[in-house]
Amino acid sequence: MVAVSVSQRVASDDQLARLLQIGIVLEEVVEARTHRHYQQLDAELDEEVETLLADAAEESADHRERLESLVEGLGVDSVPFGEIESLVDARYGRTRPEDFDDVLYDQLCNEETAYKFYDDLIEAIEDSEATFSIDRGELLATLTTIRDEEAEGVREVTEVMERR
Amino acid sequence: MNTADQYLKTIYVVQDSEDGPASTGSIADSLGVSPASANEMIGKLEERGLAEHEKYKGVTLTDDGIVRARDALQTYCIIERFLANVLAVEDFQAEARELEAVIDDTVAERLDTIIDRQPECPDCFDPESDACACLEIAPEPVEPEQQ
């Protein structure tokens, strides 16, 4: 077994870029899965859930674009949406929600996972003394905004779930 | 994955390859930390009921420790498979080791929805190559399943 480094810091541009790419993929998964939920449950969706899913997809696309700008600044390619969409499609049969409640629960997992990801990433950047080739303040401000929007998303989905 | 989980995963793999208790030295070597640091964390794992340490013999995971170690190993396998098959990272083992501390289990679960992990995971983990034995390095062909 090879030695691992037990550290929870972001140590380099390359590592930061990779983590941002993972963020992009997570957003793409949300967007693609949301579209699939629509197709699957179209007839059963009421206005409230439909709006929730539409807003979530739109927000993910917006987050993805912001992350893409950061990744570009690090000289790294984004991950094409079409590629992730195909992977979501390929495995959707095995991972799709069965009904309406499951869709909301899936959406809650999306928001919570994204929140946790950005929160950990912010902490790992703050704990690091590494110099990145993009502005640290701008990087943290962008990630904090996205994280806060995810927290808001968790709240919104929870409220809808509680009403039902 | 937090530091405790990284230790549990390492102890599990070392125990498996040594076919008995894991020596503190092997654990420290595998994690690239000093024996003193390893001893300190092993003490914490003992306090939490996740491992038992017998002097001159080594560390053995408890049943609870094994469950957590296997979860951690599974998370590691997801990260490796994601890096190798989705992002086509050549040195995916090295990157997975760097990233595992920053990637939470819930994040790994979402990444798991787009990779094709085998049902026997994490038993297919091969410590020699530090990767899943079933992992195909070439990008996976993307073919939607029949619904």
- Determine whether the interchain pair B111/A95 forms a contact, defined as Cβ–Cβ distance below 8 Å: no
| pLDDT band, residue A81 (cuts 50/70/90) | confident
- For chain A, the domain total comes to 1
Across the range A28-51, mean pLDDT stands at 83
Of all residues in chain A, the percent with pLDDT exceeding 70 is 95
Residue at token pair 């929730």 = A52
Residue in A1, A95, A103 with CA at minimum distance from that of residue A52:
A103
| pLDDT band, residue A50 (cuts 50/70/90) | confident
| pLDDT tens digits, B31-45 | 889 999 999 999 999
What was the pLDDT predicted at A5?
42
Q: Specify if A147 maps to a domain.
A: yes
DSSP 3-state of A3: coil
Q: Searching chain B, which residue's CA lies closest to the CA of residue A123?
A: B102
- For residue B107, the tally of other CB atoms under 10 A from its CB is 23
Mean pLDDT of chain A: 86
Residue at token pair 């040195």 = B91
Q: Specify if A1 maps to a domain.
A: no
* Residue A55 Cα, gap to closest chain B Cα (Å): 20
Proportion of chain A in helix, strand, coil states, percent, rounded to 5: 80, 0, 20
Domain harbouring A32, CATH code = 1.20.1260.10
What was the pLDDT predicted at B142?
55
- The answer to whether the beta carbons of residues B100 and B75 sit under 8 Å apart is yes
Q: Which domain holds residue A114?
A: 13-163
Out of A18, A113, A124, the one facing B110 most closely (by C-beta) is A113
- Does the reported pTM lie above 0.95? no
Residue in B83, B85, B107, B100 with CA at minimum distance from that of residue B7:
B100
| pLDDT tens digits, A123-134 | 989 988 889 999
pLDDT tens, residue order, chain B (147 aa): 778 898 999 999 999 888 899 999 999 998 889 999 999 999 999 999 999 999 889 999 999 999 999 999 999 999 999 999 899 898 999 889 888 888 888 899 899 989 988 888 888 888 878 888 887 775 555 555 554
**Domains along the sequence of chain B with CATH:** 3-62 (1.10.10.10), 67-132 (1.10.60)
Q: Specify if A5 maps to a domain.
A: no
Task: Say yes or no to pLDDT of A2 above 50.
Answer: no
* Residue A70 Cα, gap to closest chain B Cα (Å): 18
- Determine whether the interchain pair A90/B142 forms a contact, defined as Cβ–Cβ distance below 8 Å: yes
| pLDDT tens digits, A65-77 | 999 999 999 888 7
Q: Specify if A3 maps to a domain.
A: no
